[in-house]
Amino acid sequence: MEESKFSMPLLGDKFPELKVATSHGPMNVPGDFAGSWFVLFSHPADFTPVCTTEFVAFQKRFDAFKALGVKLIGMSVDQVFSHIKWIEWIKEKLDVEIQYPIIAANDAIANRLGLLHPGKGTNTVRAVFVVDPNAVVRLMIYYPQEIGRNMDEIVRAVKALQIADKNKVAVPAGWPENELIKDRVIVPPPTNQADIAKRLKDYECFDWWFCHKKL
């Protein structure tokens, strides 16, 4: 029983089907996002300072996510009316209009995503799920309540995932400003000895197992 209570999807798993109430009305996740990338991010509570800075930061990058074909959706265990009032407050006080929906989760929904950590209190932790058009979980990041997220890293990670999928490559640390190969990408390792000589001829390499190229 305890194992299922704190279960969570793993990388490569299908995102669990959830019927949820949101600030935009009832939704099915991931069903309503079929065929699209989406980023679902949880926050501990409405009307809290760090969460407010995060929601503004996500909204400031709304167009950047949209350009990547990515939809945003927030989540906490607050009720819908709290989400709506908080959105109104952000618009009135900070002049930022939140355009993405916010899920009003209950404990059962939060536990399905591993968002309630007993050691961190009763609020949801700051989690990020990047889900691809096939509803597969591709990236997860968990932050404690006391540290806000870096949204530019989430944008970067989505770009990197899309580039890796499209070009069948790997993406280096800090891309596109990697200390060794800048904005280049890494060629997958060879599968047999015959490929080694070809790789050394076709690509720039530090060694046969570390070759890179321009996109």
**Which residues are the active-site residues?**
51
From the list 44, 100, 42, 97, the residue with the least C-alpha distance to 70 is 100
First to last CA, the chain: 48
> Token match 């906490």: residue?
76
Q: Collect all residues with Cβ–Cβ distance below 8 Å to 16 and sequence separation of at least 6.
A: 9, 112, 113
Contact 36, 133 (CB under 8 A): yes
Which residues face 70 on adjacent strands?
Answer: 37
Residue 177 CB-density burial (10 A; 0-12 exposed, 13-18 middle, 19+ buried): exposed
